[in-house]
Structure 1
């Protein structure tokens, strides 16, 4: 993976440990599509849980694996804007409970019995998207707030 840093940068691995939203951009016959998703970073890959019965992005990835992911950490009160933009390709993988649990714990905590029921007991009706970046642009675009 090639990392492209701007004039101001930040630690990518620390950034990717945060429970931020990622925006997965895929191609479709009707044009580009964007899906906000939770993610998990491991071994230089981004993992995303998908449910083929309700999510359309797994099908788009099977048709065209080239995609992009953008992640932003924003705090408008302090002016913090950290951005990582990934370009690469993704595959639809069989569900891996270990990876899925690590992903969900980042957002929901360690006690599965306290999670929103929609996320409890995920299994073989789900899949994992494995995104392997070729390049990532890492930029600190923070500003001085006027508030």
Structure 2
């Protein structure tokens, strides 16, 4: 099977689900934002991800698609040391609008709070992964 080049930034701009693996091992699905050559994942005290990254920042993340109807098979795999950073509302709005649309009034209340409430109150934070390694493969086939 021959790999083809593809636009990784355009692929990661889609509202896809990533799976994040931490030491444990634990794997969890998550929404993400690919921005400034880094993956940004919203987390906080309600999720185990925050504590796991604080205890051991080595993580891996995969974003992939496999559409048997079209033959589209693409994957991006990233690894590195994650950082926990303060939550900024503007980035949160960019991330959430990718998945939920631009009308915040239509969002479920649990998502609206991240862009309307003080992050210090919600405890929201970012896990940022600037990949030490990033592998992108297009393994698509003809149907």
Give 2:43's match in structure 1, choosing from 47, 50, 57. 50
CA distance in 1, matches of 2:103, 2:88: 18
> What is the alpha-carbon root mean square deviation over aligned residues?
1.3
Distance apart, 1:135 and its partner CA: 1.0
Higher helix share: 2
**For residue 61 of structure 1, what is the aligned residue in structure 2?**
53
Give 2:134's match in structure 1, choosing from 125, 133, 136. 136
**For residue 27 of structure 1, what is the aligned residue in structure 2?**
23
CA distance in 1, matches of 2:54, 2:44: 14
Give secondary structure in 1 for the equivalent of 2:34: strand
Deviations 1:1-20 (A, max 9, x none): xxxxx832311111111000
Unaligned runs of 5+ in 2: none
Higher strand share: 1
**Matches of residues 60-139 of structure 1 in structure 2 within 5 Å?**
60-122=52-114, 123-124=119-120, 125=122, 126-139=124-137
Q: Is the 8 A contact 2:78 2:134 kept in 1?
A: yes
CA distance in 2, matches of 1:86, 1:112: 30
Distance apart, 1:41 and its partner CA: 1.0
Size of the aligned set, in residue pairs, is 136
CA distance in 2, matches of 1:74, 1:102: 26
Give secondary structure in 1 for the equivalent of 2:47: coil
CA distance in 2, matches of 1:80, 1:143: 7
Give secondary structure in 1 for the equivalent of 2:113: coil
CA distance in 2, matches of 1:138, 1:74: 14
Give secondary structure in 2 for the equivalent of 1:121: helix
Distance apart, 1:38 and its partner CA: 0.4
**For residue 4 of structure 2, what is the aligned residue in structure 1?**
8
